Homo-oligomer: A and B are copies of this chain.
Amino acid sequence: MNRQVTASKRPASDEYDIVIVGAGPAGLLLSTCLVRWGYKVKHIDNRLEPTKTGRADGIQPRSLDLLRNMGLKSAIMAHEPAKVYEVAFWDPKSASKGIQRTGTWASCPAFVDARYPFTTLLHQGMIERVFIADLEKNGAGVQRPWTIKDFSTCEEVNPEYPVRVEIKHIDGGATETLKAKYLFSGEGARSSVRDKLKIGMKYKSPIVHTWGVMDCVVKTNFPDIKMKCTIHSEHGSIMVIPREDNMVRLYIQIASSTDKDWNPRKTASEEDVQNSAKKIFQPYNIEWERVEWFSVYPIGQGIADNYTLDHRVFLGGDACHTHSPKAGQGMNTAFLDALNLAWKIHHVEAGFADRSLLHSYESERKLIAENLLDFDAKYAALFSQKAPAPKDVAAASARGAEVQSPGAEQNQFIKTFKESCEFTSGYGVAYDPNALNWSASHPARSIIINPKGNKNRTGRILINSNVTRVVDANVVHLEQEIPVNGSFRIYVFAGEPSTTKQALQDLTRSLEQPFSFFATYLRPDIDSVSHHERHNPHSHFYTFCTIFAAKRSGVEISRDVPTVLARYRDNVYADDIWDHRVSDTKAAAHTKMGLDEKKGGVIVVRPDGYVGLVVSLVEGTATADALNEYFGAFASKKLGEVKAQL
């Protein structure tokens, strides 16, 4: 509920900040964020209720981080999802007597520094209900079964609410006409909004793969039925995905075709697929106790030409990209599409960012979708090739793999494996340089940006670390300490209190100068903010954290932390928790970030968790100047015109 800057007048009953069509993962994450941040959302879905059977089920490690950051992880874990830690490979035995295990690998090996090194498998409907419960807690919800009838955008007619949207009950009776600032289609692969806009889908290849998929409960002596398995046999291939409640999902690639009129749904019945599976699993037996869902469907590798045409009507999720289900990336990519858009709409509508910020939604997310499709093809090849030698898996999985000899690096399998682990975990997602993700070509040119040794990469997620919160001595995950509140996260790694005393004072004095981003975007209601407000006492633009390289008992907030930062008293930390990844340092968080233990440094993280800028913490105005330069690249107002002065 932090929408305050442009709250000039109350919207009329038919005026909405956004109309969201489709209550799958993309639509729900978007509405959950925007509703929490105080926006008026009309969310419709053409189904009578959330997904009952089938669809997506895989939550990757980085998505679980995100769900935790949104406070939704425990509700998801309450359903006791399956957790996949390893993938097993099964291949034909040499003697043609069925299949044998040829190896296993970690699905998220130790070289990926993940909080949750596993994939979480749960029926999409349960995940949807977690979001819906959160929406309802905040007085919102999904209007069902309603669909979109028509829409048009005209900035001239209504500059404030330029999108006109007609929606109707699927029975065809009731209709509503709405005025909105934005329209979002999270309708899935068959997006009517995309069709109406005549946005084309580009297909990587004319081949359409047909998949049979079955969610079921089985009785089997196959030993890896609770692991993710890729099984190749003389009778075909199958992928096994364990699920909650003793269920298992079986994927069988049935056929491929380039014939447009080919109807694969006729090619395989439930019984056909079970008979195929029985043969593939030999010498193990398998019986079905229950089939919850069965479907045969064709999937091509496609990507939408555009995610938006006018930066008022946006697409996200499957409406933008389709690919094989093998790598379990669909729901995760949809979540991150929506998160990327959510905060950008927020920063534009709150008056923080220039409207051009919205352009970065397509440029950032389309790149990720393209990477996903490339990866999907490589991953499929990786799975269809002969199983890797155990020594290669061991070498690739080892934590030190990244510093191996040149010979080892040239092994294509290891390279692809490592990339795929990073990619499927979500930790490999990287945005290209732009106004948000600093690079040498960014308008911010300060020489103290990107200090030597810095380990965080802009466009990538912040490195994980454990620290101790000073006020209550709780040991916490630093990257989780600021919730998904739509604010930039400014981590002031303050090194040793005695060393950085002056630098901290100079920084905060500079922040308080007019024209700084800090002073420019102060809350209009700042005088009436509760002293309990933890993250946004000054502004919804930013939240500050201060981390000292000291023992908790050695940090005294009233003595060591300047007033501006001390206002975030619950966000002051001691970097005093030992970490096995950097076992020989006293300040593990500083070390993991690649920041000087004595002098610290400042890391700016975007509202969606990606690193935007890393800058040295120095005496004088340079640190604040660099921050102003960075934010000035996309802020709604000129910043730092008059350089900060002490």
Contact = CB atoms under 8 A, between A and B. Distances in A.
B557 A473 contact: no
A232 interface: no
A471 B223 contact: yes
A409 to B, nearest CB: 25
A557 B74 contact: no
A475 B117 CA distance: 10
Interface in A511-554: 531-532, 552-553
A580 B581 CA distance: 13
Most buried by B among A84, A104, A223, A557: A223
A85 B557 contact: no
A475 B85 contact: yes
A118 B476 CA distance: 13
A472 interface: yes
A40 interface: no
B472 A85 contact: yes
Copy number of this protein in the oligomer? 2
Interface string A226-252: 110000000000000010001000000
Which 8 pairs show the lowest CB-CB distances between chains A and B? A226-B472, A86-B473, A85-B473, A226-B471, A74-B74, A246-B532, A83-B474, A219-B531
Contact of A553 (B104, B219, B532, B557): B104
Interface string A207-233: 000000000010101011111000000
A472 B104 contact: no
Nearest to A580: B580
Contacts of A472: 82-85, 226-227, 242
Instruction: Sort chain A's interface into a size bin.
Output: 35 or more
13 contacts: A74-B77, A82-B472, A83-B474, A85-B468, A86-B552, A104-B553, A118-B474, A217-B532, A223-B557, A224-B471, A226-B570, A227-B472, A580-B580
Given A74-B78, A77-B74, A85 B474 contact: yes
Contacts of A155: none
A29 to B, nearest CB: 20
Contacts of A225: 471
A78 B73 CA distance: 10
A619 interface: no
A582 to B, nearest CB: 14
A425 to B, nearest CB: 16
Interface in A460-518: 468, 471-475
Contacts of A226: 471-472, 570
A227 B471 contact: yes
A558 interface: yes
A82 B246 CA distance: 35
A374 interface: no
